[in-house]
Amino acid sequence: MPLLEERGIACGGVVAIFHHHSVAFATAPLDGSQLNTNMKYEHLPYNKNLKSNARDLRKSMTKQERHLWYDFLKTYPVRIYRQKIVLNYILDFYCHSAKLGIELDGSQHYEDDTNLKDNQRTLILNNQGIKIIRFSNLDIDKNFNGVCEYIHNTIQNRLKEKLQWENI
């Protein structure tokens, strides 16, 4: 089992400004309450000003991001995007059909200020029905197979939940 840490905090009103191409969407409520995650999206809302940043990040992935992408996620049977813009954020990896974001954290993510921003970001994305799972770079280096197994199981469980909601 990877050294996974799922984080989330209740934060005050956070406002996101974004461009969208969606059929239906909802912004994160300011009170931190959960949204109905049974909404169907053609495309998620995104900040178009982040496009060049996302492109640059795809070109300059870390060693651990490249390992996870080329040795597992790129050929995964369910489509996964790398450096995907969602709202005002760029997710390391994103599986739209499972509404799952996968983040790899280097040492800077464990500093107090960055940790707080990560928690706020996770809460906002959770309120959009997107689950965020985080792995440290050390997890990728020392327990790659465990990380891949955890991602696979999470995607499969999310897809099963989605089918159950759609059949209600």
Residue 136: strand, helix, or coil: strand
Would you say 122 and 7 are in contact if contact means Cβ atoms under 8 Å apart? yes
Residue 18 lies inside a defined structural domain of this protein: no
Q: What is the pTM (predicted TM-score) of this model?
A: 0.71
Residue 5 lies inside a defined structural domain of this protein: no
pLDDT single digits (tens) 127-156: 989 999 999 999 999 999 999 999 999 999
Six-digit token string for 141: 């280096």
Residue 22 lies inside a defined structural domain of this protein: no
Number of domains in the chain: 1
Residue 36 lies inside a defined structural domain of this protein: no
Q: How confident is the model at residue 3 (pLDDT cuts 50, 70, 90)?
A: very low
Amino acid identity at 13 = G
Residue 10 lies inside a defined structural domain of this protein: no
Residue 52 lies inside a defined structural domain of this protein: yes
For residue 149, give the CATH number of its domain: 3.40.960.10
pLDDT single digits (tens) 88-133: 899 999 999 999 999 998 866 455 566 788 889 999 999 989 999 9
Range of the domain at 109: 48-166
Would you say 92 and 82 are in contact if contact means Cβ atoms under 8 Å apart? yes
Would you say 92 and 104 are in contact if contact means Cβ atoms under 8 Å apart? yes
Residue 3 lies inside a defined structural domain of this protein: no
Residue 54 lies inside a defined structural domain of this protein: yes
